[in-house]
Amino acid sequence: MRNRISHGMSTHSSPQQGKIALVTGANKGIGLETARQLGRLGISVVVAARDHAKAEAAAATLKREGIDAVPLNLDVTSTADIQAAAAFLESHYGRLDILVNNAGINAENTFTGNNSQTVTQAELRKTFDTNFFGVVELTQALLPLLKKSPAGRIVNLTSILGSLTLHADPASPIAGSKALAYNASKTALNAFTIHLAAALKDTPIKVNSAHPGWVKTDMGGTDAPMEIADGAKTSVELALIGADGPNGTYSHLGNTLPW
pLDDT digits (tens, 9 = 90+) for 138-167: 999 999 999 999 999 999 999 999 999 999
Q: Any idea what DSSP says for residue 119?
A: -
20-256 CATH fold: Rossmann fold (3.40.50)
Angstrom distance (rounded) from CA 251 to CA 2: 10
Percentage of residues in the chain having pLDDT higher than 70? 89
Residues 177-203: pLDDT tens digits? 999 999 999 999 999 999 999 999 999
171, amino acid identity = A
The band of 97, judged by pLDDT with boundaries at 50, 70 and 90, is very high
Q: DSSP for 141-154? A: HHHHHHTTSTT-EE
Buried-state track 221-241, b at ≥16 Cβ within 10 A, e below 16: eeeeebebebbbbbbbbbbbb
pTM comes to 0.90
pLDDT at 9: 41
Active site residues: 182, 186
Angstrom distance (rounded) from CA 104 to CA 129: 10
The closest of 14, 64, 57 to 39, measured between CA atoms, is 64
